[in-house]
Amino acid sequence: MRAIWGDHLRVTIDLPLAVDRECPVPLAVQVADQLREAMRTGRLRAGERLPSTRALAALLRVSRTVATDAYQQLYAEGWLDGRHGSGTYVADEALPYEQPTEQPTEQPTERPAEKPAEARGSARREPPPPGTVDLRAGRPWVFGYDTAAWRRAWRSAGDLALNAFPDPYGHPELRELLADHLRRARAVPVGAGNVMVTRGTGNGLDLIAATLLGPGTRAGVEEPGWRAARRIFALRGAEVVPCPVDEQGVIVDALPDDLRVLYTTPAHQFPVGGRLPIPRREKLLAWARRTGAIVVEDDYDAEFRYDVAPLPALYGLDPGRVVLLGTLSKSLGPDVGLGWLVAPAGLLDAVAERRTHLADRTSGPVQRAVATLLERGDLDRHLRRMRLEYARRREAIVEVLGPYVRGDTAGLHVMVTLPADVVPGLVRRAGERGVLLDTAEPHHIGPPRVHGLVLGYGSASRADVRRGCAVIRELIPPAEA
């Protein structure tokens, strides 16, 4: 198939796409498989535009539904990105990789998945140029830690003997300390026997996916939501199901009954910013009990709350149906590479067994260093300092952009709602003035439902946050002001 498409330039791309109507494989699956292979092998590269569903259907002489279904599957797997008013593109993260030559037959989910990035944004980002204001989401402030405490923690790690047989659950001492931390910080009544030490949220989610999912299973991800979650589930063979959210969080009444796993961010929905209220939490857990689904609760930035009382974690409301994921990437920094997975004992044992088969482990010295930070109270002191610092940055955003801000009661980002036609030009002009921004559009599986800026205030100083917000305010058209 020789296709011609493009934005302003007409680009010709040769792809050997064809459909076999005698084949028992559905036509949409055939198309999706061929496009996926083209992206894997580099014949379609990151950022290249694909034809519209109408054009693709005409080229292949199939119905538009076939083309739409193929694209939707590739959206769900993270291969494609939709840009409002512009078209469908190969996702920036869709880097070519080689498929393993030997496919497991009895346990197809045994193959290790691509290691997901911790950051909720681009899977790989270069440091911003000097002098720019980085207001992209997913980055914490990594300069506010106590250097003396940090050195002390690593000296203690140096005293740790190397272990030839790492415990898949993690060091017992750290598990006890993490359980105590969760009881104090999140009011989660949990014992060390329910805690596994992971390398972060992405690692924990992948271990759950490797244990519970595979071909023929369905996994729900919030829409819009964290892109890495849908990639992880798809790489483990599951069908990814978008689950719509509103300003409060996931809409329980819209959840299908055949999900094996539902991934959700109830403390601070990413990216919209809602906090799932108690009645809806109870309704969600009733749905999970009725359907047998496991709810995966990502507690990624729940330590940071402003002007509101904490809501109980889902895990504390029903430990039998919820897996709780947490990380130090937002409180200390992604480079620490440590998080936790809290689950019912039976499920935790199954995860530990699968983890052993995958040869996955968390660094022993890192565990020892974090245990020292917890043991001495250094992590608690750091969290108190950062809550105050982040609260001041959040206040600066609300002061400048107040009418447009949503989801500012917790976390390290807010949603700045704007009309869809305003966003691309504003982002471009802000970039020309040295302000880097994220938008809500890439966090959707299908056509965007939510429009605006996902404004992160973790990695910029207070002065830069205020300066960047002032630029945004100037660029909002008068009709929207």
CB 120 within 8 A of CB 270: yes
Q: How confident is the prediction for the chain on average, in pLDDT?
A: 85
Kindly state whether residue 126 falls inside one of the protein's structural domains.
no
Residue range 169-175: mean pLDDT, rounded: 96
The whole-number average pLDDT for the span 390-399 is: 93
Whether the pTM exceeds 0.95: the reply is no
Report whether pLDDT(213) > 90.
yes
Q: Please enumerate, as own/partner, the contacts of 31-39 that have beta carbons within 8 Å and a separation of 24 or more.
A: 31/56, 31/60, 31/62, 31/66, 31/67, 31/70, 32/69, 32/70, 32/71, 32/73, 32/74, 35/70, 35/74, 35/79, 36/74, 36/77, 36/79, 39/79, 39/90, 39/94, 39/96
What average pLDDT does the segment 181-194 reach?
A: 89
Domain endpoint, select from 347, 377, 407? 377
Pair 83, 160 in one domain: no
Long-range contacts of 6-11 (CB under 8 A, 24+ apart): 6/49, 7/49, 7/86, 7/87, 11/48, 11/49
pLDDT tens, residue by residue, 311-342: 788 999 999 999 999 998 888 888 889 999 99
Domain assignment present for residue 107? The answer is no
Final residue belonging to a domain, choices 377, 408, 426: 377
| pLDDT for residue 480 | 65
What is the sign of the dihedral through the CA atoms of 47, 51, 52 and 53? negative
pLDDT at 16: 63
Residue 17 shares a structural domain with residue 154: no
> What is the secondary structure of 363-403 as a DSSP string?
-HHHHHHHHHHHHTTHHHHHHHHHHHHHHHHHHHHHHHHGG
pLDDT band of 49, cuts 50, 70, 90: confident
Which residue, among 387, 386, 439, has the nearest Cα to 417 in the 3D structure? 439
* Within-domain flag for 407: yes
Q: Does residue 27 sit within a domain?
A: yes
In the structure, what pLDDT confidence band is assigned to residue 399 with cuts at 50, 70 and 90? very high
Do residues 363 and 413 share a domain?
no
pLDDT score of 124: 52
Is 449 contained in some domain?
Answer: yes
- Tell me what the mean pLDDT of segment 435-449 comes to: 93
Q: Which of these three, 331, 362, 377, is where a domain ends?
A: 377
Task: State residue 109's pLDDT score.
Answer: 37
Residues 155 and 91 in one domain: no
- On whether residue 118 sits in a domain, the answer given is no
Q: What's 311's domain CATH number?
A: 3.40.640.10
Query: What confidence score (pLDDT) does residue 76 get?
Result: 64
Is the domain of 89 the same as that of 167? no
Identify the DSSP state of 287: H
CATH of the domain at 48: 1.10.10.10
Residues 1-10: what's their mean pLDDT? 40
Task: Clarify whether residues 7 and 154 are in a common domain.
Answer: no
The percentage of residues in the chain with a pLDDT greater than 90, rounded to a whole number, is: 53
Residues 463 and 424 in one domain: yes
Whether residue 262 contacts residue 243, with contact meaning beta carbons closer than 8 Å, is answered with yes
pLDDT tens track for 287-308: 999 999 999 999 887 778 776 6
Same domain, 255 and 316: yes
Residues 161 and 272 in one domain: yes
Does residue 405 form part of some domain?
A: yes
For residue 285, pLDDT over 50 is answered with yes
| Structural domain for 214, as ranges | 147-377
Higher pLDDT, 457 or 12: 457
Average pLDDT over residues 213-224: 96
Count of domains in the chain? 3
pLDDT of 93-150, one tens digit each?
555 433 333 333 333 333 334 344 333 444 455 677 778 999 999 888 777 778 898 8
235 shares a domain with 140: no
Distance CA 165, CA 420 (A): 53
Q: Is there a single domain that holds both residue 214 and residue 265?
A: yes
Residue 348: inside a domain: yes
How far is residue 58's CA from residue 357's CA, in Å, rounded to a whole number? Answer: 47
Question: Do 361 and 393 fall into the same domain?
Answer: no
